[in-house]
Structure 1
Amino acid sequence: MTPMTATNELVQLSAAEMAAKVRGGEVSSRELVDAHLEVIEAAEPSINAFLHVSADEARAQADAFDAKSADEKAGLPELAGVPIAIKDMIVTKGIPTTAASKILEGWVPPYDATVIERLKAAGMPILGKTNLDEFAQGSSTEHSAFGPTRNPWDTDRVPGGSGGGSASAVAAFEAPLALGTDTGGSIRQPGALTGTVGVKPTYGGVSRFGAIAMASSLDQIGPVSRTVLDSALLQEIIGGHDRRDSTSIPEGPRPMAAAAREGLKRDLKGMKVGLVKELSGEGFQPGVQARFDEAVAKLTEMGAEVTEVSCPHFPYALGAYYIIMPSEVSSNLARYDGMRYGLRVMPPDDVPQTAANMMAYTREAGFGDEVKRRIILGTYALSAGYYDAWYGSAQKVRTLIIEDFNKAFETCDVLVSPTSPSTAFKFGEKMDDPLAMYMNDIATIPANLAGMPAMSVPAGLSDDGLPVGFQLIAPQQRDEAMYKPAAALEAALEESWGGPVWQSLKTPWLGE
């Protein structure tokens, strides 16, 4: 194994820096994989970010990359050879995929998701599958059937959700990059709570083929990283049209990495930034609001023109989302019935051995409380006599939110807000109050309802010493528009902090 001191130095590089060392022959892909597997072994007892570590597969993929000729490597994307972790909501051939649910425990898919195919083609070894709230339903990763993931900043606190595993793995240096899925903030909110960069691309900009469906009109796969440039490079690899996904956008690649590199010059003259009135102020933790205000001031210092904009229907987004999303959950999760794959629980001997009873006992045993709650809510909203009053009305609100965005983007290049109203909360603090838990997504949900690209970048530490996220939202199919100001802000804030926010993170699993 690589000595721990050498491992520390290697795993704390950005993915782009790791890739540069691979291209320069300073380090092999196998050395990168081994270094991260060493950290995973040391960190997992404390963090529980991974549901499955694919050590043998990752080493084999790294060795295959290292064996390629110089000409073969030259034709691969910039991140070639850099390992990555995958949220266990995305299917991986030959590697267990469970959606953190007992109903899929032990299931090994016979095919890869499109994004996995693209990562493999790019020469990026897969370290394993990360933990999440069951079927991506939650805001804290406390709803995993296989135990919660812990926040590396304070292991008594949640890492956010549903993608807390991917965010914690990247924050804890168990992986330089990860993929997540974002339905109402499941990439961005964990990013805010763990001090990582989380990106939700334009809806349809990244193929959903092979992503286990939660709410099909809202789900989107996206990058998790420690720098804005790393997310840009990763999004360019996984993005693009896919004929197997009917919602995939038939357009060419977007220049995300170029925009991020342009942002590093910290010149935002001529850029118009909209401060969303409805997504800050009352209800946001004072330390969160303070870091947000400081970040906005940095944008102004770099030449951006910041103005307040009103999106009057955003306060209704949370209510609309929690009708639309459970309705789609009810429909999508109907397939888990014990008949074709996954868990099967037969009724006891004194109960009629019918297919209906088998399905009922299977779903009772296989689904957790939060999944059952959302199935019940969604089934009710879609039932005869209530469909128009609930689901239909929520879709009308969704249209009004899209119109709010369109109007705001007539005068602004990007919109900004805090990512989450609070920093990471303690385990159990909101488990008995679903509404309080749902409120964590109040700032992230509008972008999902409208299909807009959005990103969370670290904005420093709150007064409690925990990370704060800063959200940027761009117009549909203009993902690159948010990368430039995000990279500029990242660079400006790091200068103020004297380095990246993760330098304040204590990592005993690295021997520090």
Structure 2
Amino acid sequence: MKNFASLNEIQESIKSGSVSCLSLVNYYLDRIDGHKDLNIYVEVFAEEAIVRAKNIDEKILAGTAGKLAGMVVAIKDNICFKGHSVSAASKILEGFESLYSATVVERLLKEDAIIIGRVNCDEFAMGSANETSFYGPVKNPHNIKKVSGGSSGGSAAAVAADLCQVALGSDTGGSIRQPAAFCGVVGLKPTYSRVSRYGLIAYASSFDQIGPITKSVEDAALVTEIISGKDPNDSTSSSVNVEPYNNIELPTEKKKITYLKEYLESPGLDPEIKDKFLTLIAKLKAQGHTVEEQTFSFLDVIVPSYYVLTTAEASSNLARFDGVHFGYRSSNANNLEST
């Protein structure tokens, strides 16, 4: 079976009879089994995925399948899925089972996506290389001597290695976008409040967002459309109507686009990335769009400010994992000193 570039390709193949949801799941299960060396999956829901695939194949024949029929999805190990373990890649939550599903998971399932497993990440989503996980580091599928990026390194590597069609990640300060770049796939951090965070093990609540990692912009748009929208379980979620994001035809009206010139002058910027960015600017201008540079004099304080805010929020959010209410508890915890 080939590496499908998009859900549209998969669904066309299903219509032609060349593949089925069941054959897709078996294909991914075989690939996951053959790529354990990458240390991407921490748990595979094989039996459940097979049963669900059979059911969706029946719905396809009956003409009642959802928009995501044929999409096999992996979820980051900090997103809750009822009846399944979730650990945020930490020993602290070893053996903890979700009592409810995240809103994003429920919305994917409603449209007949198949969730095949949970994937590795940096511990409590705090990291940029996927090297802080209790399960060990994730290797980059393109070069196992390189990191996959983080904290959603398992999600990006799973898509890049064709161990699923789409993966969900979470992004606080780059944790979807950076590993997607490292692994050569598409990653999108939706605008804050666009996607419900209900069921996400929080790092920094005023920054966190759940988003897709995909093989195509088309699939990123479709998944974002499905998981977006008001959620009564997340008071910060936006009530603005969800647009059909997967309608990604080039707009006829011309846009005004700006960028911060200081980023292009940063000594840490890779020359290849700079060249690609400048090529993109030239392409946009050639299409008639206005592209202007802007000056931002506070660039040097962005990262320090980020760490002041996020570490304070992380301290508040993670204090609940104290081994009393839930979480790992040492068998020698007779007193403070013995722990």
- Mark yes or no: TM-score above 0.5: yes
Equivalent residues in 2 for 1:322-337, closer than 5 Å: 322-337=307-322
Percent identity of equivalent pairs: 42
Query: Counterpart of 1:254 in structure 2: which amino acid?
Result: E
Query: Counterpart of 1:174 in structure 2: which amino acid?
Result: L
Please, which of 283, 295, 298 is the counterpart of residue 280 of structure 2?
A: 295
1:277 corresponds to: 261
Whole-angstrom distance in 2 between the partners of 1:61 and 1:146: 28
Provide Cα deviations, 1:93-125, integer angstroms capped at 9, x if missing partner.
122211000001122212111111111111111
Q: In the alignment, does 2:39 pair up with 1:48?
A: yes
After TM superposition, the runs of 4+ consecutive aligned structure 1 residues lying more than 4 A away are: 69-72
Deviation at residue 346 of structure 1 after TM alignment: 4.2
Whole-angstrom distance in 1 between the partners of 2:105 and 2:175: 19
Consecutive unaligned residues in structure 2, runs of 5 or more: none
1:257 corresponds to: 246
Provide Cα deviations, 1:10-66, integer angstroms capped at 9, x if missing partner.
x33322211333345442111111111111111222x11111111111111111111
2:57 corresponds to: 66
Deviation at residue 340 of structure 1 after TM alignment: 2.2
1:31 corresponds to: 23
2:217 corresponds to: 228
Please, which of 75, 80, 98 is the counterpart of residue 86 of structure 1?
A: 75
Provide Cα deviations, 1:120-161, integer angstroms capped at 9, x if missing partner.
111111110011100000000011111100111111011110
Provide Cα deviations, 1:177-204, integer angstroms capped at 9, x if missing partner.
0100000010001111111110011111
1:169 corresponds to: 158
Give the TM-score of the pair, scaled to structure 1. Answer: 0.63
1:137 corresponds to: 126
SS of 2:118's equivalent?
strand
Specify whether residues 310 and 31 from structure 1 end up closer, same or farther in structure 2 by C-alpha distance, changes over 3 A only: same
RMSD after superposition: 1.8
Whole-angstrom distance in 2 between the partners of 1:136 and 1:320: 19
SS of 1:209's equivalent?
coil
Equivalent residues in 2 for 1:37-436, closer than 5 Å: 37-45=29-37, 47-68=38-59, 70=61, 73=64, 76-77=66-67, 79-258=68-247, 260=248, 262-263=249-250, 270-283=254-267, 284-347=269-332, 353-354=334-335, 357=336, 361=339
Specify whether residues 144 and 242 from structure 1 end up closer, same or farther in structure 2 by C-alpha distance, changes over 3 A only: same
Query: Counterpart of 1:104 in structure 2: which amino acid?
Result: L
2:5 corresponds to: 13
- Contact 1:166-1:224 within 8 A present in 2 as well: yes
- Contact 1:83-1:124 within 8 A present in 2 as well: yes
- Contact 1:268-1:302 within 8 A present in 2 as well: no
Give the TM-score of the pair, scaled to structure 2. Answer: 0.94
Higher relative contact order (CA 8 A, sep 6+): 1
The count of residues paired between Structure 1 and Structure 2 equals: 338
Greater shift, 102-111 or 202-211, is seen at 102-111
Greater shift, 48-57 or 181-190, is seen at 48-57
SS of 1:257's equivalent?
coil
Query: Counterpart of 1:21 in structure 2: which amino acid?
Result: S
- Contact 1:273-1:304 within 8 A present in 2 as well: yes
